[in-house]
């Protein structure tokens, strides 16, 4: 593992702060009518929040201190969406069924595609840009939804800080599902 164990808490907190900064920047870009870029940054915020959770789990569980977890946190973008959504469902007490796992997989791929759609110019029967009107509502919804999810996770202590109620976030199980 390249990240020293005594640096995981610091990395988690840096990822957490970066996630909130992405979200603030997304809100600023939305006000500037840069809808696609705003939506993409909201997705980066959600990913970065998942990275924080992965680092926290790696710190708690020695079996997770390996290249696989580190790669998941730093490189595997779709997987981070899966980790974030699975963790959120666990916090809410939702049982992870095969059908729900498939829906998470599909949704994660859609979020990655949506993030990319927000960044690039492309042609699909007409020119689509990050500033296209079709991105306005999508960006507003993504930013609002991401803020609510991150705030919910903060309230239950997903960020590693002490709270009355601890989340039922089983990263070792989630990691097995992702590989």
pLDDT of residue 88: 80
Which of 16-30, 37-51, 137-151, 164-178 is predicted with the least confidence, judged by mean pLDDT?
Answer: 164-178
At 100-110, the pLDDT tens digits run 888 988 988 88
Write down the pLDDT at residue 170.
61
Please report, in angstroms and rounded to a whole number, the separation of the first and last CA atoms in the chain: 18
Mean pLDDT, the chain, whole residue set: 86
Q: Give the integer Cα–Cα distance in Å for 139 and 146.
A: 10
**pLDDT of 160 higher than 60:** no
Mean pLDDT over residues 19-26, rounded? 97
Q: Where are the alpha helices (DSSP H) in the chain?
A: 8-31, 35-60, 67-74, 77-91, 98-117, 134-155, 171-178
How far is it, in rounded angstroms, from Cα 142 to Cα 114? Answer: 10
72-98: pLDDT as tens digits = 899 888 988 888 888 788 777 888 888
């Amino acid at each position: 593992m390249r990240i020293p164990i005594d640096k995981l808490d610091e990395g988690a907190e840096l990822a957490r702060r970066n996630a909130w900064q992405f979200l603030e920047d997304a809100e600023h870009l939305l006000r500037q009518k840069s809808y696609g870029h705003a939506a993409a940054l909201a997705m980066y915020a959600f990913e970065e929040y998942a990275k924080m959770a992965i680092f926290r789990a790696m710190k708690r569980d020695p079996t997770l201190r390996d290249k696989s977890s580190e790669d998941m946190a730093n490189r595997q973008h779709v997987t981070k969406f899966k980790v974030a959504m699975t963790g959120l469902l666990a916090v809410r007490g939702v049982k992870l069924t095969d059908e729900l796992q498939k829906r998470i997989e599909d949704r994660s791929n859609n979020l990655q595609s949506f993030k990319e759609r927000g960044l690039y110019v492309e042609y699909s029967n007409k020119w689509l840009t990050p500033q296209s009107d079709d991105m306005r509502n999508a960006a507003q919804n993504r930013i609002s939804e991401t803020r609510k999810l991150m705030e919910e996770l903060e309230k239950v202590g997903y960020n590693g800080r002490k709270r009355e109620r601890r989340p039922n976030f089983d990263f070792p199980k989630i990691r097995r599902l992702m590989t």
